[in-house]
A and B are shown apart, each in its own frame.
Chain A
Amino acid sequence: MAKGMKAQTSPTTQAPPGPKEGREWLWSLLLGLLILGLVATVPFVGNASDLHTWTLIVMFAVLAQSWNFIGGFAGYSAFGNVVFFGIGAYATGLVLLANQPFWLGLIAGALVAGFFALLLGLSVLRLRGHYFAVATLGIAEAMREFVTVRDVGGGGGGLISLPLPSLDSYIRFFYAFLGLSLLCLLITVFLTRSRFGYALVAIRESEQAAEALGIPTYWYKVGAFVLSAMPVAVAGGLYGYWATGFDPDTVFNVGISVEMVLLTFLGGAGTILGPLLGAIAFEYISFQFQASGFTFHNTLLGLSIVIVTVFLPQGILRIIQEFGRQPAAGERRAGRFAEGVRRVRRFIAANGI
């Protein structure tokens, strides 16, 4: 009885790339640094509204990059990672309400979330695909309920109101998120070059084979899960203070969980740049819509999810990579574009009946 066995992928599924020797990681890292560098100029070239928008965009990038550890690399579709966001928010909020320093709150949030991820992971990472996903979904919902009913924030229904930040300029929040994203980028690059990363990819591709080759899969999965929790918790803490208050429905919102997943998939799960690109692409468009009075955020999100899952489950990055892939011996160099298109269409068709 194979533990934690996931559904088999079809043979024509192009799996996301794994760790690579050679230079690809370096190019991805440099490109990532470039992108983050460009984004870092927003406070200078944009106005206050831009800063607001981009702060949230970078925040979503952090969420996606973190989800990538458990979902993209290890291949375990956790659908409730927003629970760590909320834990971070509430931990930090409570610390602030107790008149303790902000950074202490962030650390507390990360530790609590990490510990919670450890306990949760130990229990649910033994479950098979469907069950794991719904279990994580359920825990987030359960936590939201709990915080609401117990009024953890003290403001009625779990609401927390915080004093105005001492990081008195919103610019500092922006750079804090950006720094967090940079950290996640570096961790991701490290994963692609390390034993830990290879273990996760092996687990994703075939957990049975991974076990047979000596990988203690359970522990690596738990490790990835804990890793995916901590940056999210710090982001939650930052967000809570930045927004000077929040309620359970906001920071334990299941939509955020799913948005994390979508952004990662849109860009390319299991890649270095995928989550970052996916976050920027989707959130930017989403905010443009909102700015013009469009109130259909969930509709947009839902529709995007439908489109991405039906047509683009490999993500934009993978499609680009497919075109650029070195042809195997025998494939002609000419006509690679057409071949790439054919590959994508074949993939879409292969998933249907």
Chain B
Amino acid sequence: MSDALSQPMESDAGHGDDDSQVSTPLLQLKSITKRFGGLAAVDNLSFSLHKGEILGVIGPNGAGKSTMVDLIGGATTPTSGTIFYQGHNVTGLSPHQRTQRGIARTFQLTKPFTGLDVRENVMVGALFGQRRLSCSQARRAADEVLERVHLVHKATFKGDQLTIADCKRLEIARALATDPQLLLLDEVMAGLTPVEVAQAVELIRQINKSGLTVLVIEHIVGAIASVSNRVLVLHHGRKIAEDEPAQVLSDPKVIEAYLGERYAQKHTQDSASGFSTTQE
């Protein structure tokens, strides 16, 4: 069954260390809990992400997915627990410090810099990310990234002239421009048409092929299932499943919490063989 999944290839073009760090996970969450008042948005969450993987994260609304991205990205600090990145404890680092180490994220509610055009938006990532380029170098780097996400023809467009799909692409482009090793995608497919979803999936595959480890949060289960190596399911802030997509989708706990019986019946057979165009 796993043959049918698209596997990220071992990439030489990545930023990997030469020493045998394969066993050390790129990202590790240990017993991460985040409370807001009495409510635990994320409850004792632990998992690891290995270099070169694509990890999909699904779960009902309010399950804590975005909070998790905020925690990994540094926008909030956990109430308890630790986060390890490349073996180092990064729990206390601020967002920009994490970006400097190679963690990049997108925002579910896109936040384009509306005073700048598309190219300049991406330039910001290139200027302040891991590479810290000069203005002219950043301009070139931005155009390269825009090519990858197929947005270069709109390089001079302003924020209010972009479609939703473009905005999502811009979010991804900006994050890519910081030259990350780990990319966190927060519901980049929300609001996209089926064709656009397919393009997004392809983009994620390409990003992964170029050496990045990707964590994808989504509601479009079919898409996630087809692109991820593993899928993590969150519910009420807790992990209720973590396995290969096919296993997760047929897990009764997951079906009960999120997928629903009809989906399970319809899709258990063919979800592993590439995603269907029916959106969940």
Collect the chain B residues with CB atoms within 8 Å of residue A309's CB: none
Find the A residue at minimum CB distance from B139.
Answer: A21
Q: How far is the CA of A308 from the CA of B241 in the complex (A)?
A: 57
In the complex the two chains form, is A214's CB within 8 Å of B120's CB?
no
Binds A, one of B8-16, B40-48, B105-113, B264-272: B105-113
A2 at the interface (CB under 8 A from B): yes
Find the B residue at minimum CB distance from A73.
Answer: B115
Collect the chain B residues with CB atoms within 8 Å of residue A206's CB: 111-113
Collect the chain A residues with CB atoms within 8 Å of residue B130's CB: 214
- As a 0/1 sequence over residues 210 to 227 of chain A, the CB contacts with chain B under 8 angstroms (1 = contact) are 111111110000000000
Which residues of A1-59 have CB atoms within 8 Å of chain B's CB atoms? 1-2, 9, 11-21
> B17 to nearest A CB, angstroms?
21
Q: How far is the CA of A214 from the CA of B125 in the complex (A)?
A: 7
Collect the chain B residues with CB atoms within 8 Å of residue A270's CB: 115
Partner of B127, one of A1, A9, A12, A195: A195
A205 at the interface (CB under 8 A from B): yes
Partner of A205, one of B104, B105, B115, B127: B115
Q: How far is the CA of A198 from the CA of B127 in the complex (A)?
A: 9
Which residues of B76-120 have CB atoms within 8 Å of chain A's CB atoms? 76-77, 94-97, 99-100, 104-105, 107, 111-116, 120
A202 at the interface (CB under 8 A from B): yes
Collect the chain B residues with CB atoms within 8 Å of residue A16's CB: 115
Find the A residue at minimum CB distance from B95.
Answer: A211
Collect the chain A residues with CB atoms within 8 Å of residue B115's CB: 15-18, 201, 204-205, 270
In the complex the two chains form, is A18's CB within 8 Å of B129's CB?
no
Please report the total number of A residues contacting B with Cβ < 8 Å: 37
Find the A residue at minimum CB distance from B171.
Answer: A209
Collect the chain A residues with CB atoms within 8 Å of residue B94's CB: 211, 216
B161 at the interface (CB under 8 A from A): yes
Which residues of A64-100 have CB atoms within 8 Å of chain B's CB atoms? none
Find the A residue at minimum CB distance from B157.
Answer: A328
In the complex the two chains form, is B107's CB within 8 Å of A212's CB?
yes
Partner of A215, one of B77, B96, B134, B175: B96
Partner of B135, one of A2, A195, A214, A326: A195
> A288 to nearest B CB, angstroms?
34
A194 at the interface (CB under 8 A from B): yes
Which residues of B39-85 have CB atoms within 8 Å of chain A's CB atoms? 73-77
A253 at the interface (CB under 8 A from B): no
Partner of B128, one of A11, A204, A215, A326: A215
Find the A residue at minimum CB distance from B123.
Answer: A198
A199 at the interface (CB under 8 A from B): yes
In the complex the two chains form, is B113's CB within 8 Å of A205's CB?
yes
Collect the chain A residues with CB atoms within 8 Å of residue B77's CB: 1
Residues on A lying within 8 angstroms of B by beta carbon are 1-2, 9, 11-21, 193-195, 198-199, 201-202, 204-206, 208-217, 270, 326, 328
Additional pairs, 14, CB under 8 Å, beyond known A198-B120, A214-B128: A21-B120, A202-B113, A205-B111, A205-B115, A205-B116, A206-B112, A209-B112, A211-B74, A212-B75, A212-B95, A213-B99, A213-B128, A213-B174, A214-B100
